[in-house]
């Protein structure tokens, strides 16, 4: 009786630990919610007061495309990010926590890697966590991967 009770408790423990282990592995395919329309944007003065923002911005691709002319004369950098990419999330979190450190002449544009096939082809982006600096006409200025801080991003821009 005592032996069968020990086996039953051992089996329950093994099953419980296996379930815990397997559930932690399953989260690799879970996608987090990533803003696709409007990440956090720095506050800018009223357009009547100043033509250029006093600080740089971190905006969505849709917001940038809707008002691209407002950002001419700034260094525009597309950040190709995927919701399932842990280094992208780390970078996004750092950028959002450092909005006040974005220089006034820098516009950082969040581009969904999975939903932007045309832009990926245009700029030759093959992996997420890629940055593409463009000129006012949308031409490629520079491309790189791996920046996770505003300081590194500024250092990389041309």
Domain span including residue 74: 57-156
Is residue 150's pLDDT more than 70? yes
Question: What does the pLDDT read at residue 28?
Answer: 35
**Predicted TM-score (pTM) of this structure:** 0.67
Residue 131 pairs in a beta bridge with: 79, 144
Is residue 3's pLDDT more than 70? no
20: in domain: no
Distances, alpha carbon 67 to alpha carbons 53, 70, 110, in Å: 13, 6, 14
32: in domain: no
61: in domain: yes
Is residue 76's pLDDT more than 80? yes
d(CA 74, CA 42): 15
Write the pLDDT tens digit of every residue in 37-71. Answer: 444 444 444 444 434 445 689 999 999 999 999 99
Question: What does the pLDDT read at residue 7?
Answer: 57
Strands laid side by side in the 57-60 sheet: 57-60, 106-112, 75-81, 130-134, 140-145
88: in domain: yes
Write the pLDDT tens digit of every residue in 104-127. Answer: 999 999 999 999 999 999 999 999
CATH assignment of the domain containing 131: 3.40.30.10
Domain count within the chain = 1
Question: What does the pLDDT read at residue 52?
Answer: 45
Is there a contact between 87 and 142 (Cβ–Cβ < 8 Å)?
A: no
d(CA 36, CA 78): 14
């Amino acid at each position: 009786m005592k032996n069968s009770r020990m086996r039953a408790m051992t089996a329950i423990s093994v099953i419980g630990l296996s379930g815990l282990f397997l559930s932690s592995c399953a989260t690799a395919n879970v996608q987090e919610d990533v803003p696709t329309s409007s990440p956090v944007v720095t506050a800018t003065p009223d357009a009547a007061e100043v033509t250029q923002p006093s600080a740089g911005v971190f905006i969505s691709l849709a917001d940038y495309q809707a008002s691209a002319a407002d950002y001419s004369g700034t260094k525009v950098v597309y950040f190709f990010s995927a919701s399932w990419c842990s280094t992208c999330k780390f970078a996004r979190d750092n950028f959002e926590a450092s909005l006040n450190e974005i220089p006034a002449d820098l516009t950082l544009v969040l581009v969904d890697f999975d939903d932007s096939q045309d832009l990926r082809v245009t700029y030759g982006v093959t992996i997420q966590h890629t940055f593409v600096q463009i000129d006012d006409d949308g031409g490629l200025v520079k491309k790189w991967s791996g920046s996770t801080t505003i300081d590194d991003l500024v250092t990389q821009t041309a």
